[in-house]
Amino acid sequence: MAKKKEQPTSRHATAEEQNVVGLRSMVVEQPVTETLESNFMPYAMSVIVSRAIPEIDGFKPSHRKLLYCMYKMGLLTGARTKSANIVGATMHYNPHGDAAIYDTMVRLSRGYGALLTPFVDSKGNFGKVYSRDMAWAASRYTEAKLAPICAELFRDIDKDTVDFIPNYDNSTTEPTLLPTTFPNVLVSANLGIAVGMASNICGFNLQEVCETTIALIRDREHSILSTLPAPDFPTGGEILCDAAEMETLYRTGRGSVRVRARWRYDAKAKIIEIYEIPYSTTAEAVIDKVAELVKAGKLREISDMRDETDLGGLKLAIDLKRDTDPDKLMQKLFRSTPLQDSFACNFNILIGGTPKVCGVGEILEEWIAWRQECVKRRVYFDLQKKKEKLHLLNGLKKILLDIDRAIAIIRNTEHESDVVPNLMIGFGIDQAQAEFVAEIRLRNINREYILRRVEETGELEKEIADLELTLRSRRRIENIIVKELEQVIKKYGTPRRSVINYDADFTEPEEEETVPDYPVHLFLSREGYFKKITPQSLRMSAEQKYKENDGPSQHFETTNRAEMLVFTDRQQVYKTRAADFADTKASALGDYLPTKLGMDEGESVVSLVLPGDGSGHLLFFFDNGKCARVPLESYATKTNRKRLTGAYSDKGALRSVVHLTAEQPLAAISTEGRAVVFNSALLAPKTSRVSQGVGVMTLKPKYRLDKAMLLSDTAIVNPARYRVRTIPAAGALLREEDRGEKQLTLLDEL
């Protein structure tokens, strides 16, 4: 009985256990590499190939679907229609939301102004590319059609020039590429962000691109820079053209183009008018930055700035204070605002379905090869059509020999279905020829009509022979491409919008001395707290305040305009100035540099260096006993970069940084308590910042180099005991009198 009483409990437990086992069996262990390969990789490839990266015709799939839908709607030659109609029709090809489709159309429109050669002839408010706040109207309010230049996108698209594929629901077909008669891939600016890669193509002038393509077809060794000197941006601006940088961009497909705003000065009203800005910024971004600098007291020459943009175009007005030099002010604005900016280029396009970063010459070569294939397919299509027509006329020619017999055959045939077979038997022609003869209207069964049609055979034979010759001749195909390019130049060529400045000074201009200059004392603690204190404040209260377990690390006497290099434990250096920090008191903790300079999480300060005039060397001492001597000029930058990565070697932990302006004795101390004194001349300079350096101390396995400094900054009273002539050396144990640290007092500092 006890066994029977326990049975339900046992059965219940068994069922629970079975449920647990069943749940466990549903969990399938799968390696992360297999998950990435089976799940993530298809998604990544889909984004790259089918969404974000443009192809050789210069379009992404979303662009191509929209334009082709508008073409099928008859908007190339017809009147404009509501944008909402276009968006709705495009959803037959592009299964994304209507907002995404409308955004695509806005970017291609003339009103928005993002392209040098817009493809959508728009009417209504389509916003402006140079304004972040000027939003475009809803699709139900605007109208659009295809711009005339779209005729060059769809020329002969119905002649098998490109492949067609089914749309997403197999209800219709769409082209895989558009047979553009000009290299639109370089003419239209394009930005795409895929998975693991991106593309950013700047626009070039249509006329210059076509002329360069013609020159390349004629001479494969043509210098591209001679006919395509620089990009061209829809918003205009002034391109600061560096021949070396431009050559690198054209060769590799990667680089940057520096663009600055164009302006004029109204001396009577004392107003600067900015009427063109870089393509990569907006009017609101410029105004916000100028307002920030004015508020910070760094632009005292400006009394007011406003946006006076109207139907005539962009205009930013700046009111100047009395006796302000407009040229000097604009140079300052170029340095500190987006009025001068760089457009980063990455010519990543799909070639045969594979993403590839190409130079300008390589892109044009790929386009020429692709265009040759399109022209060949068109010629072959025309050739086949003419051969079919000639074949039908040859059948009609045989009927000419005995028209009455043909009529008699048709008349004496009892069933309609037997007409074509009887004509085939009676005249020895094939089914297509017989069908053609049978479809001739009764009024055309006369000798004059038939003779006139037969006479076409001679002309057709000549045309067929010419087309066959064209298919076999590369030169003829290239001549066709050249002729089409010349027509594009004649119809749609426009002057450059961006002015090219070949005489620009690419050295960083010296900043106007508007920062007040006065003596200051700089203090850095071991935890990374920084203080800037004036001598007057230091005399009033010299007692420094630090956090618990923190203390003094470095101290400098300098001026408020001094530059500073802050080295961290992540092989990075941050460039800043003393003027960027507010004056404080000794009783304050100061600014926490990792937060103030925007350092990475967990990054800490190792040393502070004042570069001065940039002369001398920096000595990097690592815990493995090595030291690298690097010229200080290696840390000079031509731009206002605030952070430099790869500042020193990552093969050891950085313990000390010494700024050396002349050969001096140095002291290195290990955690064992040993010291080595040697002359800095034993350290040879290295050309690379990431040099591992040379050995200074020979360390036992459990000890590391603790610190290093100039001998004059140590408390060593008997340097001869620790001095060595060659390095590395083990050093000698510090005596008691040499162990004390040199203490700084207020009297010493003042």
Same domain, 555 and 674: yes
59 found inside a domain: yes
Query: Sorting pLDDT into bands at 50, 70 and 90, what band is 496?
Result: very high
Mark whether 333 and 372 lie in a shared domain: no
Q: Say yes or no: 470 and 606 in one domain.
A: no
The H-or-E segment that residue 450 falls in is helix 447-472
Catalytic status, residue 275: no
Point out the domain boundary residue: 145, 180, 215. Answer: 180
Q: What percent of the chain has pLDDT over 70?
A: 93
Residues 403, 531: Cα–Cα separation, whole Å: 111
What's the sign of the alpha-carbon dihedral 670, 673, 674, 677? Answer: positive
Interval 428-455: pLDDT, tens? 888 888 888 888 777 777 777 777 777 7
Give the dihedral of Cα atoms 517, 519, 524, 530; nearest 10 deg: -40
* 241 domain-assigned: no
Q: Which helix (H) or strand (E) holds 257?
A: strand 254-260
Q: Read off the pLDDT of residues 318-327 as tens digits, 9 standing for 90 and up.
A: 999 888 899 9
Q: Report the C-alpha gap between 238 and 260 in whole angstroms.
A: 5
Question: Do 535 and 569 belong together in one domain?
Answer: yes
151 touches 168 (CB < 8 A): no
Q: Exposed/middle/buried for 391, CB within 10 Å: 0-12, 13-18, 19+? A: middle
CA-to-CA distance for 167 and 173, rounded, in angstroms? Answer: 5
Question: Does position 538 have pLDDT exceeding 80, yes or no?
Answer: yes
Are 622 and 649 in contact, with CB atoms under 8 Å apart? Answer: yes
DSSP strand pairing (705-710 vs 665-670): antiparallel
Distance CA 719, CA 270 (A): 67
Name the amino acid, one letter, at 314.
L
Domain count, the chain: 4
pLDDT in tens, 306-319: 999 988 899 999 99
Check residue 466 and report its DSSP letter. H
Angle value at C-alpha 693, between 690 and 696, nearest 5 degrees: 150
Q: Is residue 20 part of a domain?
A: no
Range of the domain at 469: 187-234+365-507
Q: Is the pLDDT of residue 743 over 60?
A: no
Pair (150, 203) in one structural domain: no
The Cα 728–Cα 693 span in angstroms is: 12
The CA distance from 208 to 214, in Å, is: 10
Q: Same domain, yes or no, for 639 and 606? A: yes
pLDDT tens digits along 327-384: 999 999 999 999 999 999 999 999 988 999 999 999 999 999 999 999 999 999 999 9
Residues 162-212 pLDDT 10s: 999 999 999 999 999 999 999 999 999 998 887 878 899 999 999 999 999
**Which CATH number belongs to the domain containing residue 715 in this structure?**
2.120.10.90
pLDDT class of 7 with cuts at 50, 70, 90 = very low
Regarding whether 529 and 436 lie in a shared domain, the answer is no
| Dihedral (Cα; 598, 600, 603, 605), 10-degree rounding | -30
What is the Cα–Cα distance from 664 to 712, expressed in whole angstroms? 9
Total count of residues recorded for the chain: 750
Domain end position, chosen among 487, 507, 527: 507
- How far apart CA 526 and CA 581 sit, in angstroms, is 18
Spatial distance between the Cα atoms of 678 and 514, rounded to a whole number of angstroms:
44
Could you give the angle at which helices 474-492 and 360-400 cross, rounded to 10 degrees? 110
Strand order, beta sheet including 529-533:
552-559, 519-525, 529-533, 591-592
User: What's phi and psi for 439, nearest 5 deg?
Assistant: -85, -5
Tens of pLDDT, residue by residue over 547-578, are 888 888 899 999 988 899 999 999 999 999 88
DSSP string for residues in 564-588: EEEEETTSEEEEEEGGGS----TTS
Give the Cα-Cα-Cα angle 255, 511, 563 (nearest 5 degrees). Answer: 90
Q: How many angstroms separate the CA atoms of 670 and 708, rounded?
A: 9
Q: Are residues 669 and 536 in the same domain?
A: yes
What are the start-end ranges of the E strands in 28-156? 81-82, 120-123, 143-146
Report if residue 37 sits inside a domain. Answer: no
Long-range contacts of 218-227 (CB under 8 A, 24+ apart): 218/482, 224/250, 224/360, 224/361, 224/364, 225/250
Mean predicted lDDT score pLDDT of the chain: 87
Whether 24 maps to a domain, the answer reads no
Residues 559 and 482 in one domain: no
Helices (H) and strands (E) in the chain, counts: 22, 33
**Domain final residue pick, 151, 180, 209:** 180
Report the C-alpha gap between 227 and 685 in whole angstroms: 45
* 438/524 same-domain check: no
Q: What is the CATH number of the domain that holds 492?
A: 1.10.268.10
What's the one-letter identity of residue 625?
A: G
pLDDT band at 638 (very low <50, low <70, confident <90, very high): low
CA-to-CA dists, residue 60 to 178, 189, 191, angstroms: 11, 11, 10
- Backbone dihedral region for residue 590 (phi beyond 0: left; psi -120 to 50: alpha; all else: beta): left
CATH assignment at residue 91: 3.90.199.10
316-320/302-307 β-pairing: antiparallel
Q: Which residues contact residue 295 at a Cβ distance below 8 angstroms, ignoring those fewer than 6 apart?
A: none
The answer to the question of residue 350 being in a domain is no
Find all residues with CB under 8 Å of 244, minimum gap 6, and list them.
none
Instruction: Pull the structure tokens for residue 188.
Output: 């239209």
**For 126-142, what is the mean pLDDT?**
93
Q: Is 108 in contact with 70 (CB distance < 8 Å)? A: no
Residues 6+ apart with CB under 8 A from 683: 619, 627, 629, 693, 694
* Residue pLDDT, tens place only, 25-77: 566 677 877 777 777 777 777 777 767 899 999 999 999 999 999 999 999 99
Q: What's the start-to-end Cα distance of the chain, in Å? A: 101
How many Å apart are CA 750 and CA 537, to the nearest integer? 12
Strand, coil or helix: what is 590?
coil
Rg (CA), the chain: 39
Rounded CA-CA distance 235/498 in Å is 8
Type and span of the H or E element at 520: strand 519-525
Backbone phi, then psi, for 265, in 5-degree steps?
Answer: -120, 125
d(CA 750, CA 746) in angstroms, rounded, equals: 6
Whether 8 has a pLDDT exceeding 60, the answer reads no
Q: Does residue 394 sit in the same domain as residue 454?
A: yes
Distance CA 698, CA 727 (A): 9
Going by C-alpha positions, the residue among 178, 143, 214, 155 that lies closest to residue 57 is 178
Q: Tokens in use for 625? A: 């006993």
For residue 647 the two structure tokens come to 């500042």
Q: Is residue 512 part of a domain?
A: no
Catalytic residue among 71, 93, 141, 635: 141
Residues 209, 78 share a domain? no
pLDDT, residue 322, reads 85
Q: Please, which residues bridge with residue 348 across strands?
A: 357
- Using an 8 Å Cβ cutoff, are 716 and 677 in contact? yes
Nearest to 709 by CA among 700, 719, 720, 701: 719
Cβ-contact 257, 237 below 8 angstroms: no
With respect to residue 1, please indicate whether it lies within any of the assigned structural domains: no
Report which secondary-structure segment, H or E, holds 496.
none
Q: Is the pLDDT of residue 137 over 80?
A: yes
Sheet holding 572-577, edge to edge: 605-609, 563-568, 572-577, 643-645
